[in-house]
A and B are shown apart, each in its own frame.
Chain A
Amino acid sequence: MILWIIYAQPSIYPINTMSLTLSQRLSLKRFTKGEEAHAGSITLNHRRIFILPSKGGLALAMVILLMLVASINYNNSMGFVFTFLLAAVSQASTLYSFRNLSGLNVSLAKAPPCYAGSMGHIKLYITENNNRNRWTIHASHLHKQTNFDLVGDTSLLVNLPVKLKTRGWYSPKTITLSTQFPFGFFRAWSPLRFNEPILVYPSPIDFETTLSISQDSDHLDGSSSPLTGTDDFAGLKPYQQGENYRHINWKALAAEKGFYSNVFSAEQSTQTWLDWQACTQLSIEDKLSQLCFWVLRCEKKGTEYGLRLPKIELTPNHGARHQHACLKALALYGS
């Protein structure tokens, strides 16, 4: 038992990363939350890996104690042998728990941006450079968790879903890699914090605000009109996230064809300005959501669109890069 406790202290010799001050070293936060957030990859070493008996390990300690009492009571040599062997095995298992984590290189893969209110993904890119097998490592972030093995492979992408509530930059909280390998007596864990925020776009919501047209002087052809009309039914198209539910074609849904929404004919301009001023009656967040919806809609239709926010103007264009630029501007509005 004493040995366990001695060994449970993480060694405090920095190897390849910057050294810590004494107060940082002794800070309890380091055990649970991890060190300062880090950009790029982190190699797990003795400074970042902690180890303590798990619940199963405490139960084992009870078993060992019982075995010891029985051996003492009967003065039984073989009883002592197996009691001490079990204790020694549990001591040795700490090395293997540690080795199961140590040397792993962890970085956050570029996460695709996502919309507020949806599930995003934290992608851990884990590489193994020591030519060792890694068994049953548990990755957790907030309350989401997943297990993975690295047997015979050298790298792995681990996906941790995360609920994204608000737009803007989302910084992942502490990601904990832990393992109870090999026997479940000890839990070795390594809390990691990464400085790799995920961009969260506003959630696209159609408030059915009519887009008041603001045309460019170059395109005075008078052909522009609201982006989507509500006049004449023109057919069905797959439902797009954020569209008004009133446009869902319920007949199609009832026929188990899936989500389709009605499309109504409307005249379109080939170049549209999506303007902050267009949705005056909405709150700021709703405005952003509406604009976000329009951006997606325009991109889908192939319309060239520009975005006008207070102090920000993106000239009309289209394509994935432009869409991202627009959505990013919306996501980071006000921050």
Chain B
Amino acid sequence: MEASTIKSQPLQPVLVYLLVAIGMLLIAPHIGELNPSFIAIGISLLIWRALTVKLPTLLPVKFILLPLSIGLTFFVFKTFGMSLGRDASSSLLIVLIGLKLLESKTARDAQAVIYMCFFMLITPFLFDQRIELAIYGLIIFFMLLFALVLNNTHTASFKNPPLLRLSGFILLQSIPLMLLFFVLFPRMIGPLWAMPNQQSAISGISDTISPGSVSNLALSDETAFRVRFHGKPPEQKQLYWRGPVFWDTDGFAWTHVLPTPVNNDTKPTTVPDTSYQYTLMMEPHQQRWLYGLDTPISAPRNVQITNDQQLILKNKLDRNLSFDITSSNNHPRLELSKNAKERALQLPKNIDSRVTALATQWKNTNPDPSDIIRQALSFYNAEFYYTLNPPSLSKNPVAEFLFDTKRGFCGHFATSFATLMRAADIPARLVGGYQGGIYNSVGDFYTIRQADAHVWVEVWLEEGGWTRVDPTAAIAPNRIEHSIDVSQQQLNRNITFLLSPSEGLEKWAQHVKWMVNSIDYYWQSAVLAYGPEKQLEFLSNFGIIDWSDMILWLSILSGVFVLAAVSTLFIPHQNKDPVQKGYLRLCRKLSKITEEKKPYETTSDYIDRVITAKPTLTSELNIIKTLYLKTRYGSDNQQAFLKAIKQLHISNTPAFFYTRTIHR
């Protein structure tokens, strides 16, 4: 007779299958991120456990399980070392969940497995926080809640609508409190302790530019950053997003050297006529620079504006962040210092004589530097081709490109152009960044993709200061007019710049794409970028300016929320049954005719009494009576019953007098 406690009851096969499925779903996002051997181990352990449901003899005994656990744990630590970073802890969890599930025999074990799964659930987000993955996580979260309910009620079947509904309802009910904590829980800057260095992929423009280095980006549809303009945006062809500025070259590649800190006194004293205010919404690219238009004149405090108009961060950007920046399109007319001039004229040691010869020839025929530039551009225009699949270059890339292959893309054009300019005694530097962007009319922002990556040159002219020259534009002017649509690009082929006009279905597809992009934008800017800085900025709108305020408001609001939730327990139970409601309505209507239903009366008796009190309603009331009995005790007839009640009209006043006289 003695019932064992719920915790030591054996596991239901249904729950085992559910947990195996959840385990698989948890491992899935790690495929491609983690060491495949751990994923294979995790999956095989889960499959093993699933098989044991039908074949209990396969269940491992202790002496197999113990060495297996020790061995696998040792394997994890041997692979990753003792520090439990992102990859190591995810791998360890995958293995441990499999082992624990294999060992599970009771409900208590299952509870432990589910707890581990909850922790496991957040590990994919350390790699990637896309919105799809978040929804995926939410589905797994719901499955875990259902698994908990199954485990605690010992239900032996999936098909349990009340429990499914309950899990879903609790989940929905928890969301407001979660949001409250998300917004108000004080975020800290920086990790609690230094984590082992993760090889996070550096994306976008890198800190060295060789002629062919941008080609790997040209086909990438990934978002580099997004921009929202406050006010009128510049023209599409003016959208040159300046990133790192390259001064130094060894003849093969151009290397970015982080500028030494400068005082910000060199800011222009007068506010220029045309300035653009915009919010830059960066993706983490693991670099220290940002991308800005022309000449940035104001930036957030954590961003430094250098002399060569770069925006430099104190640390590598490792999370989504947004920056409010103001740029002017007036170039500052600064003097070029001697050092800078030397640096901007330095030629690589391996410079080919053909290059210097060509530059000298130009220099001799044109006294004015701008004429040299013009001549150089027409040189490119006449003989060069733009292709994403250029012939490979070896010893002396610049000369080989200029005089032999003549095929290339922005990297080739820019590096060779800068070298030519320097050879012609015009100070020149290379700028890496992005050109253009796709305007999203749904979300009112620009998306700049990796495919928009671009390299161009800035030259120093006495009359205009540093001036942008884009030699690539000399080849393919359309490159500047429109962004290249990645979907239209194909490898091994010259690029066509003709954009087919979007019409009909295509237009719709475009629109849907924008919508998705907008959702992604808000996801990035509102959810993922909600870090310490953004939190302070957002909460300061409400007068919350520090930790103690946040804690105070968090306690007050969550207290209010919990009290509100608790108070729902004391709201009298509302009868939700429509038939019961209809019946009560009927009783109210009938009480106008005669006295209310007595507790001892059955419904039929009561209706009969009403009929004797008001014979004019005999037929209607008889129908209602039959329908009521049918709905309550027979086949389902709800709608007819409710309709009949609705149609029952009782003329108020005469009935009132009538009843009065009867009962006196």
On A, residues with C-beta under 8 Å from B are: 2-3, 6-7, 11, 46, 56, 59-60, 63, 66-67, 69-89, 91-93, 95-96, 98-99, 102-103, 130-131, 133, 135-136, 138, 144-147, 149, 151, 159, 161, 180-184
Contacts and interface: CB of A to CB of B under 8 A. Distances in A.
Contacts of A60: 115
B182 A80 contact: yes
A81 B174 contact: no
Contacts of B129: 76-78
B154 A136 contact: yes
Interface stretch (B70-78, B165-173, B264-272, B464-472): B165-173
B181 A75 contact: no
B141 interface: yes
B2 A144 contact: yes
Contact of A76 (B126, B185, B529): B126
A79 B182 contact: no
Nearest to B318: A75
Contacts of A81: 134, 178, 182, 527
Contact of B5 (A76, A102, A138): A138
Contacts, number: 178
B392 to A, nearest CB: 41
Contacts of B112: 59
Given A2-B555, A73-B192, A85-B171, 10 more contacts: A75-B190, A76-B125, A79-B125, A81-B182, A81-B527, A84-B177, A91-B174, A95-B569, A102-B569, A181-B152
Interface stretch (B58-66, B358-366, B557-565): B557-565
A209 B101 CA distance: 65
B530 A184 contact: no
Nearest to A59: B115
A82 B566 contact: no
Contacts of B527: 77-78, 81
Interface stretch (B37-45, B116-124, B426-434, B542-550): B116-124
Contacts of A133: 162
Given A6-B559, A183-B145, A92 B153 contact: no
21 contacts: A69-B192, A70-B126, A72-B188, A76-B126, A77-B531, A78-B527, A82-B118, A82-B141, A84-B178, A85-B174, A87-B178, A89-B174, A92-B173, A92-B174, A92-B565, A95-B568, A95-B569, A145-B5, A149-B153, A159-B1, A184-B151
A136 B152 contact: yes
A73 B195 contact: yes
Given A67-B119, A82-B121, A83-B122, A183 B182 contact: no
Given A69-B192, A147-B6, A87 B181 contact: yes
B531 A75 contact: yes
Given A76-B125, A85-B178, A183-B152, A92 B170 contact: yes
Interface string B136-156: 010001000100110111100
Contacts of B569: 46, 95, 98-99, 102
Given A75-B319, A85-B178, A182 B148 contact: yes
A91 B121 CA distance: 19
Nearest to A130: B573
Q: SS class of chain B's interface: helix, strand, loop or mixed?
A: helix
Interface in B482-539: 527-532
Contact of B118 (A63, A102, A159): A63
B201 interface: no
B67 interface: no
A82 B177 contact: no
Interface of B: 1-3, 5-6, 86, 89, 111-112, 115, 118-119, 121-122, 125-126, 129, 133-134, 137, 141, 145, 148-149, 151-154, 162-163, 166-167, 170-171, 173-178, 181-182, 185, 187-188, 190-193, 195, 319, 527-532, 555, 558-559, 562, 565-566, 568-570, 573, 575
A88 to B, nearest CB: 4
A82 B122 contact: yes
A3 B1 CA distance: 39
Q: Which of A7, A46, A147, A159 has the most CB of B within 10 A?
A: A147
B5 A89 contact: no
A136 to B, nearest CB: 5
A221 B568 CA distance: 79
A56 B111 contact: yes
A61 to B, nearest CB: 11
A81 B527 CA distance: 9
Contacts of B570: 46
Nearest to A98: B569
A34 B178 CA distance: 35
Given A74-B86, A82-B122, A3 B562 contact: yes
B137 A67 contact: no
A131 B581 CA distance: 15
Given A75-B187, A82-B137, A183-B145, A89 B152 contact: no
Given A73-B193, A85-B141, A92-B174, A67 B122 contact: yes
Nearest to A82: B122
B624 to A, nearest CB: 24
Contact of A84 (B148, B167, B170, B182): B182
B564 to A, nearest CB: 11
A36 to B, nearest CB: 24
Nearest to A74: B126
**Lowest 9 A-B CB distances belong to which pairs?**
A88-B174, A78-B125, A88-B177, A84-B181, A84-B178, A183-B148, A146-B3, A85-B178, A88-B178
